[in-house]
Amino acid sequence: MKTATISDFRSHPDTYLEAAEKGERIQVLGNGRPIFELVLATTDASCPSWKQAGPRLKLEGTSLSEQILNEREETDP
């Protein structure tokens, strides 16, 4: 993944837009921290973007709801 500062992105947006059109991911940084990523939009018009699969988190241990129920049981008199 390429990175660019926000000032560089503002100075040369066409360069980064062309790279994104070719499929590259560009992470734009402000004060050394990521602000946004520039990626190619999907071209699958049959499926809206909010329905498309995205990254999934997999966490080890108990679920949040289990932790809340356990905490309630411990604090109930």
Q: For residue 4, what are its two tokens? A: 């660019």
Write the single-letter amino acid at 41: A
Domain that holds residue 14: 1-40
Query: What count of other Cβ atoms lies within 10 Å of the Cβ of residue 4?
Result: 19
Mean pLDDT, consecutive 10-residue stretches, the chain (77 aa), reads: 93 93 91 91 67 67 82 79
Residue 67 confidence (pLDDT): 83
**pTM (predicted TM-score):** 0.52
Residue 10 confidence (pLDDT): 94
Q: For residue 66, what are its two tokens? A: 């289990």
16 lies in a domain? Answer: yes
* CATH for 35: 3.40.1620
Report the domain count for the chain: 1
Residue 59 confidence (pLDDT): 63
Report yes or no: 28 and 36 within 8 Å, Cβ to Cβ: yes
Which of 52, 61, 22 has the alpha carbon at shortest distance from 39?
22
Query: What count of other Cβ atoms lies within 10 Å of the Cβ of residue 52?
Result: 9
